[in-house]
Amino acid sequence: MLQHWVESENSQEKVKAEPPLGPNQGEERLSVWLTARQPKSQQKDGRGDRERRGHDSGDQLPVQRRELRYGSREFRAASDLARRLPYSPRIWALFGSVVRDPALIRAFVAVWRLPVVDLRVRRADADAWSEASPVGRTISGGRLAQAVLELPTAEGPYLAGRPKQALRTNLRHARDCGVTSERIPTYERWFEAASFILRARCDGPALIGDMNKPGPGQQVAYYVAHDADETPLAFARVALLGQFAVLLSMISHLDRSPSASWARYQLHTSLALNLGCSGVKYLLVGSALRESVGNQYFQHLLGYRARNLRVEVIESGVT
């Protein structure tokens, strides 16, 4: 896989409010996979009706859309199944799993009833990425139970409320350590910081091979978090596709704990606000179900939701 969501070595810590959160549980490679209650404005202008219907609504009866919350019984059952199946399972494989465990029917229903996010991407942007890439898989086939973050445009509302308490705690730890994040304007400067972080990892050489310079037509944003001494602690890169973006990688330094662990939260919050203020509406990270429990918890703290996608590829110039 090209996409990674790799965390620090403190991967076996219990879930607490004070220490760095989001354990890795030993899995470092992220399958291509990553929004809230329906606002009244959508109910008024008709978008709510579309979100309550299936992918090809037509004349079908309305489907009542419901959350599939991280950590719920249905979510865990669906995750267990998704991790056992290939990315494009044959129908008999799904049927056999349900026969062995009829309780999975509830999980299938829960996935089908997820709210739907409608996305549009220009043909030129879609064609710039191969179907084997995280971006290509999202556009061509990654539609069910994807991890989606509705991007914020202001820090206050994004961090407000009890569900974001742990995130606020980790951001405070990062701030106390002098951690800051920035968007890097050039690939070369970003790759220098990324290489410093990857050289400290035993899997660094393999990961460096996935950090190629963007190809023709590919738009990518680069981010780095560093400490008060300007030492790189974590990096991220994001594919830009107009209305939405796809997180390609987020990797932290293994030998700089706990500051590197806190830096991941600071880095993600910074890039989410930067993208949201730039007009990007959604950040995707692939399947919400195929991730390790630790990565799923990390997504949950950051505000990701499981959503079904309906992607429309439009010709360049069409608005």
Task: Tell me the C-alpha distance between 148 and 174, whole Å.
Answer: 24
Min mean pLDDT across 154-158, 169-173, 211-215 is at 211-215
Class of residue 203 by CB neighbours under 10 A (exposed 0-12, middle 13-18, buried 19+): middle
- Give the pLDDT confidence of 51-91 residue by residue, as tens digits: 433 444 444 445 556 778 898 888 988 888 788 776 655 55
pTM here is: 0.77
Residue 292 has pLDDT above 80, yes or no: yes
Hey, what domains does the chain have and what are their CATH numbers?
4-10+32-68+113-314 (3.40.630.30)
Q: What average pLDDT does range 146-170 have in this prediction?
A: 96
Q: Contact at 8 Å (CB) between 33 and 285?
A: yes
Closest by alpha carbon to 153, among 278, 237, 37? 278
Q: How confident is the model at residue 17 (pLDDT cuts 50, 70, 90)?
A: very low
Closest by alpha carbon to 112, among 66, 81, 150, 61? 66
- Give the pLDDT confidence of 104-155 residue by residue, as tens digits: 777 778 888 899 999 999 999 999 998 888 888 888 876 889 999 999 999 9
Q: What is the pLDDT of residue 98?
A: 62
